[in-house]
Structure 1
Amino acid sequence: MFKPTVALFFLFISFSLFAQEVTVLDADSGVPISNLAIFNRDKSKITVTDFNGKSDLGIFNPNERITFQHLSYEIYATTKSQIAKRGNRVYLYLRSEELEEVVLSVSKWEQQKKNVPQKIETIDARSISFTAPQTSADLLQNSGKVFVQKSQLGGGSPMIRGFATNRLLLSVDGVRMNNAIFRGGNLQNVISIDPFAVNKTEIIFGPGSVIYGSDAIGGVMNFYTQKPHFSFTDSLAFSGKADYRFASANNESTTHAEFNFGQKKWASHTSFTYNNFDDLKMGEHGPDSYLRNNYVIQQNGMDVLVPNDNPKKQISTGYDQVNFLQKFAYRPNDTWNYNLGLYYSETSDFPRYDRLIRPTSDGQGLRSAEWYYGPQKWFMGNFQITKKGNSKFYDRVKLTTAYQFFEESRYDRGFGDVELFSTKEKVDALSMNLDFENKKLGGLHLYYGAEYVLNKVNSKGSMQNIETNATERTASRYPDGATWQTFAGYINGEYQIEPNFTLLSGIRYSQVWVDAEFEKTFYPFPFDEADIVTGAFTGSVGFSWFPRDDWQITLNGSTGFRAPNIDDIGKIFDSEPGSVVVPNPDLEPEYAYNGELGIRKNFGDRLVLKGAAYYTYLVDALVRRNFSFNGETEIEYNGELSNVQAIQNAAKAYVYGFEFGMEAFFDEHWSFSSNLTLTEGIEEDDDGTDTPARHAAPTFGDAHLVWQNQKLKADIFVNYNGEISNDDLALSEQSKDYIYASDANGNPFSPSWYTLNFRSQYQISHALKATVGLENMTNQRYRTYSSGIVAPGTNLILGLGYVF
């Protein structure tokens, strides 16, 4: 017969094996999730979390599959034993249901997306993981709503609503990345942002100057990186992730690792990524003019043009890149939050492919023996303090201070020349933002604040004789020591007039100072300095209206501006064969006036249709046009007689377009989505001459058929780009006939193209995940509009991720 103590012992062992308390938390905020249902496959066992997000799992067996379900969160399935290995904590992500989504970009504080009249696209970490982009430029392109141009593999210049480069604003964790030398030509700064480190990206379509100031004319791209996670118990919480990715089109090899340590009051997050990209291979079926038939090598100290054994291999395009992120968070109490972020990115040298394929005037050779960018470096230190308050003037206040360092360089040498010309630029950027949120005014929520930014540019030029290694100083690309600074204040208000009608309006004033001194050693400039002081008012007003629960109508009017920067005012460079751009200190800001109408219709949560129409009018547009220098229309630059051009306030621009989207949900496994964007743009010179706008992308779109369950997600999709005929090609693009196909009349044009693609992701176990993709399955050979590099041919992508 059992003694009582023996019976109690076995009862204790039984309870220890089956009893287990779990805490369910929001993955982003760490807030407990109450009233969440936990059940087994046949729902014969069900429990619910309490106010603290806790529940006892004693009714479930250790290896029994259990599901966590809440109306506001993604469904999650696992086992008790797996939960125990992860410290008896489960983190869930909010559903991406668009009308309930919270966005940060419009006011720098959380707002319901449904109350915002501007179009905003959100790309979350799970979507990024599924699409497996090589760079953050590809991350944007994979959304199907942003067009991306590439001059080389190490690049990616987004185009939004007919604008690009320095008319779009990049922001990382609330800090503007645009600096004083962001140019009107194609930019590749977005690749400095590691897609593995991105938690969410928000894209604002249309002007965002009320919050972001200069440059936010066509749109704003906000990248929010991963946050440190605190522990919600008394013990140290540790988690991490490791990823590997391979792509066959350029033999990509990418390794990523991240680690998180957290206690109740402090947390640390570390992220590291290394990319190695080989030369990119193009597709099989397409224009022969895209082939890389020959390239330049050095033999016995001489430049030699040699045939390419594999013309589909784009020699030279490969490069390496490293990215590092370190974040610390300290939360001493519920009132204060301190966050420090350290970011670093560096590439190897990377060739500018479109310059390496430029033919000579007789078409028998290549103009350049070498043309490459030196390492592109970016560092940012970002310190942010957030305080909750009881003041009648604010509920929360946030101080963001940041220092950024940018370095870039260019090297070019003509075929047969012994002089290697180079310019090297460094930019030191300081910024400070003070932002307030006030929700104590009933239905009116106010967001207001101030910003200060200072950029200092250092620029050097040199020429090296590759035979003797002798180096001498030459003209720099920019005035050395030039500064660009701005101070601004803004106020933005959200007023809920009715439960179904929200008004959003704001105003900002920005003052901008530009100072640059011109050195006359190499060029006899007819001026000594540029000393520009200018200001700009910008504003916006719009509403979001739900006439019925399943209808949404938005209308928004806004203005944007871009103040001249050092690149506009002081640059000297070869813009195209036979032309050189010279400084022009007599510039004014350009202004944009934008109107936008959006409509959304939900058919019983089975079909959602979305559409937007917009029109933007740009005045005093800063454009590159013919110019005279000391009365001369031609000067010698790098040993070549070149036509003189300069940036001038010499044009107006009209851009309009339509954007359509559709989502269809057939059942719990099958869904379909599609996007289509149409853009038209015209530039009108002061003499009344109309020309197509360079950054108006062709019609583009995609269509996705998706199947998914709890373990597998598969997507078969089509990407499509329309044609841009020779008549609709910008004049600056018509002169680059070497990157375009030829029409029946022998004139350059951008052909239409499509690709058929597949991607999938399988959850092998709770910790292990595999990604398999096959892009461009029909092996098309195509160039996206304005791109120098030809897109990948058939591309096998393999990825493996492990969470610990």
Structure 2
Amino acid sequence: MYNKDKSVSNITDFEGQVSLDKFSDSDRIYFQSMAFETYAIDKKEIRSFAHQILMTPRSEKINPVVISASKFEQRLQDIPQKIISQNVQDVLSNNPQTSADLLQQSGQVYVQKSQQGGGSPLIRGFSTNRLLITVDGVRMNNAIFRGGNLQNVISIDPLSIDHTEVILGPGSVVYGSDAIGGVMNFYTKKPQFTQDSMVFSGNALIRYATANNENTAHLDFNYGTSKFAAATSISINSFGDLKMGSHGPDEYLRNQYVDRTNGQDVMVDTNNPEKQIPTGYDQINLLQKFRYKLNQSWEFDLGLIYTATGNYSRYDVLTRFNDTGDPRFAQWYYGPQKWFMANAKAIHRGNGKWYDKMIFSQSYQKFEESRNNRSFQEAKLFQSKEQVDVHTTSIDFERRNRENNVLFYGAEFLDNRVGSIGSVFDIDLEEREAAASRYPDGSSWRSLAAYANYQWRLNRKLTIQSGLRYNHIWLDAQFRDQFFNFPFEEVHLSTGALTGALGATYLPDDTWELRANFSTAFRAPNVDDIGKIFDPSPGTVIVPNPDLESEYSYNTEIGIKKRINDKFTFDLATYYTHLKDALVPRDFQLNGQDIILYQGELSQVQAIQNAESAIVYGVEIGVQYEFNDHLKIYGHYNWLQGEQEEIDGSKVAVRHVSPSFGDFHAVYQNDKLQLDTFVMFNGQFEFNDLAPSQQARPYLYARDRNGDPYSPSWYTVNIRSSYKINEGLTATAILENITDQRYRTYSSGIAAAGRNLIFAIRYAF
């Protein structure tokens, strides 16, 4: 409730009751609530309504509320970008093993996997460090997020998630660097207050899957009072070796694997080529959150998250063979991937003069990861260990200067510190010696930014949203490495980036939704771009390059949504992105040499460079038809294309542009039973459709009639079911890939699960 002339405001309690003593009898009071029409009335007239104000919903069908576009609540239909969301019920129904699987099950995010302990999302032709991940509003991307496939999303426990919101397309105005292709926002369970003296509730779940012998146990609970609440979540996962399907390319089968017997590496014939050895791993996920409500104006939150995996093998690398027919590696595995986040927030509801709501956040994150590899029949195990400490301070404001216009603004500071060490361990002699580290030890990456985003609702039909952000990046690194004679000892980067967005949504009536958006986005070079040393493929080594600048994208999106007879909904989005000065690996020279010795092998020297431009464009289609309250069908289809210009002017495919893909579902639901029968499908990439980097990795793909690698099309038929046995107990049974197809998602180094029976039982208390 507020008065525009005097900037006086107040909010209701949990029962919707409020004192209006702040207002005089002559004041005109505006009553405002998200997704409802703003109502205005003079205070003296309220008595005639028995002191009760009834709010009118703005729309029956198209009024979900999201917070990802501005960090504050907005109606989805007011946002000019496409946002997809999944709630906790979707998680419980789908029962994803990881958060990467959760994204893939949306039917609108593509996921690549190099091993079972992984999942690298692709959104609108972009991946890895051109996508941004946030957890509870804190960016997860750090200074060593790389251009190669990333596995960090598996650190987010899907069973601790309350809901996800994925922005398809750029988000640099609100989120800064890296948000070129999209922003994946994960919001974990929030402690819930109660009006009772004390309420304790929770969920327990156990799950088993046949394709990888998965065993998962989960427990979460909430303790709440009127002012204090706490939420706890614990998940323990154990995944065995993954079994692929029986109908598909023979190139995906693994007939042999390496075992170490009596101090020697030997090839072992497998009695089940469909079993991918070694791919199993374990994981633990812990979450603890607290909320304290001091009064109607102040709230304080604290969230603690810790996740850790065991060792997990890089399966795609272990399938490589050298010219002699021997495996290239006997071992290649990631050490435990650990992530800790402490996130403290203070939330204040203001009086409307400078802001109506303020969120101040201070967070700390610690990332740990390692890489370990040993060549076949060699004793030297090369190891690199990395640690990144990230401090984030942000402050965000929301001010509604009229009932329809909103200003969002804020500032953010990030400080990344990178620790990196390398060593070689002789497994026969049990001796260790120093070796080149992957990154310059002690390097730093810092960012300072301010942004403003204004939503202007001209009338009931037309809303315009615009925004600007300025970001400044500093990077410092020292190269004092006795293993390489670099022509420089240190790198200092200081660069700024201005990004903007302008969009509009138009609602001709309750059945139409039209939107258009133009925006720019950027990615600043990080420590991985400037300072890493590693081998991306056999005979190639990436070396540091201090002469880098930010890459920029220019983006256009147009969307249409139509509802017919409250039963049929059609959704269409088209987009076009131009990426300029793209940071990509290209041939390079180190001290005048284009070939050097790296880990005992002569390797072609490459470095990350601002070498090219690229365009990506596509169409996304969604349909839904509701027969009645119990039965509906829906589906998605995604088509995209991309090309990048090489230094010589030639045009080639963009690496992270996926084949066309989508899904189609038929869902029946009543009070106790839910059945979801669905098909997932994927188009084909011929050899000429593959990016050059993928053409050079035949071990990832099937072979065509000419012996060239290609990515075959595939489909799976699946059924999910859940049955509510009683108020507390629910059983879920899922049969995936019923026809037992053998397939790999594009660019993946591991085949997906074959026929897979998943059984879970959940008890709510």
Structure showing greater Rg: 1
Moved more, 725-734 or 389-398: 389-398
Select 1:353's aligned residue among 311, 315, 321.
315
Q: What CA distance in whole angstroms lies between the structure 2 residues aligned with 1:669 and 1:212?
A: 39
> C-alpha offsets along residues 195-244 of structure 1, whole Å, 9 cap, x if unaligned?
000001000011100000000000000000001111212x2111111001
Aligned to 2:428: 467
CA–CA distance in structure 2, aligned partners of residues 499 and 779 of structure 1: 51
2:601 is equivalent to residue 663 of structure 1: no
Q: Which residue of 1 aligns with 2:246?
A: 284
What's the offset of the Cα at 1:442? 4.9
Match of 1:503 among 446, 454, 464: 464
Task: Provide the alpha-carbon RMSD of the alignment.
Answer: 1.7
1:202-221 to 2 correspondence within 5 Å? 202-221=165-184
Cα distance in structure 1, aligned partners of 2:429 and 2:538: 28
Q: Tell me how far 1:686 sits from its aligned partner.
A: 2.9
What is the rounded CA distance, in whole Å, between the counterparts of 1:734 and 1:776 in structure 2?
Answer: 28
Q: CA deviation at 1:560?
A: 0.3
1:115 and 2:64 equivalent? no
Moved more, 519-528 or 473-482: 519-528
Assess, with a 3 A threshold, how the Cα gap between structure 1 residues 733 and 461 changes in structure 2: closer, same or farther: same
Which of 344, 353, 365 aligns to 1:392? It is 353
Residue of structure 1 equivalent to 2:202: 240
1:571 — aligned with what? 532
Q: Is the 8 A contact 1:32 1:51 kept in 2?
A: no
Which amino acid counterpart does residue 773 of structure 1 have in structure 2?
I
* Cα separation, 2, equivalents of 1:96 and 1:621: 43
2:497 alignment counterpart: 536
Tell me the distance in 1 between the aligned counterparts of 2:341 and 2:747. Answer: 31
Is the partner of 1:128 in helix, strand or coil?
A: helix
Determine the C-alpha separation between the residues in 2 that align with 1:439 and 1:421. 57
Partner SS, residue 89 of structure 2: helix
Indicate if the aligned counterparts of 1:539 and 1:559 stay in contact, CA closer than 8 A. Answer: yes
**4+ residue runs over 6 A deviation:** 94-98
Distance in 2 between residues matched to 1:411 and 1:197, nearest whole Å:
30
Once residues 501 and 361 of structure 1 are traced to their aligned partners in structure 2, the CA distance between those partners, rounded to angstroms, is: 64
Quote the residue 1:616 is aligned against. Answer: 577
Q: Does the alignment pair 1:452 with 2:393?
A: no
Counterpart Cα distance in 2 of 1:105 and 1:607: 27
How far 1:30 sits from its partner (Å)? 12
**Aligned counterpart for 1:192 among listed residues 148, 155, 170:** 155
**CA-to-partner distance for each residue in 1:506-557, whole Å, 9 max, x for gaps?**
0000000000000230000011111000000000000000122211110000
Change (3 A) 1:51 1:445: closer
Does the 8 Å CA contact 2:12/2:18 hold for their aligned counterparts?
no
- For 2:117 and 2:431, the matched residues in 1 are separated by 30
Equivalents in 2 of 1:95, 1:640: separation in Å?
Answer: 66
> Does 2:73 correspond to 1:139?
no
Partner amino acid, structure 2, of 1:618: L
Instruction: Provide the rounded CA distance (Å) in 2 between the counterparts of 1:442 and 1:413.
Output: 64
- The separation in 2 between residues aligned to 1:706 and 1:544, in whole angstroms, is 30
- How far apart are 1:441 and its partner, in Å? 3.7
- Measured in 2, the distance between the counterparts of 1:463 and 1:434 equals 45
Structure 1: distance between partners of 2:761 and 2:60: 28
Structure 1 residue corresponding to 2:286, chosen from 320, 324, 331: 324
Which SS does the other structure have where 1:138 is aligned? helix
Shift of 1:365: 2.2
Q: Using the alignment, how far apart are the partners of 1:610 and 1:413 within structure 2?
A: 50
Structure 2 match to 1:747:
708
Determine the structure 2 residue equivalent to 1:378: 339
Amino acid at match of 1:334: Q
Counterpart in 2 of 1:802? Answer: 763
Q: For 2:610, which of 645, 649, 652 is the aligned residue?
A: 649
Cα displacement string for residues 89-124 of structure 1 (whole angstroms, at most 9, x for unaligned residues): xxxxx9998621001011100001110000000111
Q: Does 1:581 align with 2:538?
A: no
d(CA) in 1 for partners of 2:542, 2:64: 46
TM-fit CA distance, 1:440: 2.2
Tell me the amino acid that sits aligned with residue 361 of structure 1.
D
Aligned residue in 1 for 2:218 = 256
Residue 488 of structure 1 is matched in structure 2 by 449
CA distance in 1, matches of 2:435, 2:387: 17
Q: Percent identity?
A: 53
Rounded Cα–Cα distance in structure 1 between residues aligned with 2:322 and 2:647: 33
Residue 444 of structure 1: CA displacement? 2.1
Indicate the residue corresponding to 1:269 in structure 2: 231
**Partner residue of 1:633?**
594
Q: Report whether the alignment pairs 1:759 with 2:717.
A: no
C-alpha distance in 2, partners of 1:371/1:146?
A: 28
Distance 2:456 2:462 in 1: 9
Counterpart amino acid of 2:319?
Answer: I
SS of alignment partner, residue 311 of structure 1: coil
Is 1:676 the counterpart of 2:637 in the alignment? Answer: yes
Deviations 1:363-385 (A, max 9, x none): x2211000000000000000000
1:299 paired residue among 248, 252, 261: 261
Aligned 8 A contact 1:30 1:230 in 2: no
Q: Using the alignment, how far apart are the partners of 2:89 and 2:542 within structure 1?
A: 44
Q: Cα gap change, 1:572/1:378 in structure 2, threshold over 3 Å: closer, same or farther?
A: same
Alignment TM-score, normalising by the size of structure 2? 0.93
Read off the aligned partner of 2:228 and give its amino acid letter.
Answer: W
User: Separation in 1 of the partners of 2:404 and 2:281?
Assistant: 53
**What is the CA distance between 1:253 and its match in structure 2?**
0.3
Find the aligned partners of 2:507 and 2:268 in 1 and give their Cα distance: 65
> Displacement of 1:160 after TM fit?
0.2
What's the CA shift for 1:604? Answer: 1.2
2:762 counterpart letter in structure 1:
G
The answer to whether residue 78 in structure 2 is matched with residue 103 in structure 1 is no
Q: Which deviates further from its counterpart, 219-228 or 683-692? A: 683-692
Q: Any idea what SS the aligned residue of 1:733 has?
A: helix
Match of 1:155? 118
Inter-CA distance 576–391: structure 2 relative to 1 (3 Å threshold): same
For the structure 1 residues 336 and 51, does the alpha-carbon distance in structure 2 shift closer, same or farther, using more than 3 Å as the test?
closer
Q: Tell me, what secondary structure is at the counterpart of 1:337? A: strand
- SS, match of residue 186 in structure 1: coil
Q: Return the match for 2:559 from 594, 598, 611.
A: 598
Secondary structure of residue in 1 paired with 2:688? coil
- 1:19 corresponds in structure 2 to none
Cα distance in 2 for residues equivalent to 1:534 and 1:140:
33
Amino acid of the residue matched to residue 415 of structure 1? Answer: F
d(CA) in 2 for partners of 1:196 and 1:30? Answer: 32
- The alignment of Structure 1 onto Structure 2 pairs a total of residues equal to 720
Write out aligned runs for 1:422-461 (5 A).
Answer: 422-461=383-422
Match of 1:176 in 2: 139
Residue in structure 1 matching 2:682, options 718, 721, 725: 721
Q: Which amino acid aligns with 1:463?
A: V
Q: In structure 1, what residue type is equivalent to 2:289?
A: K
- On the 8 A contact 1:98/1:113 being kept in 2, the answer is no
Q: Aligned to 2:387, what secondary structure does the other structure show?
A: strand
Shift of 1:313: 0.4
1:10 — aligned with what? none
1:737 maps to 698
Deviation at 1:359, TM superposition (A): 1.3
- Which residues in structure 2 correspond to 1:21-36 (within 5 Å)? none
AA aligned opposite 1:794:
R
TM-score when normalising by structure 1: 0.88
Deviation per CA, 1:538-595, whole angstroms, max 9, x where unpaired? 0000000012221111000000000000000000000101100000010000000000
CA distance in 2, matches of 1:665, 1:801: 28
1:777 to partner: Cα distance: 0.1
Note closer, same or farther for the CA distance 1:763–1:31 as it changes in structure 2 (3 Å cut): farther
1:30–1:229 CA contact under 8 A, matched in 2: no
Task: Provide the rounded CA distance (Å) in 1 between the counterparts of 2:233 and 2:12.
Answer: 20
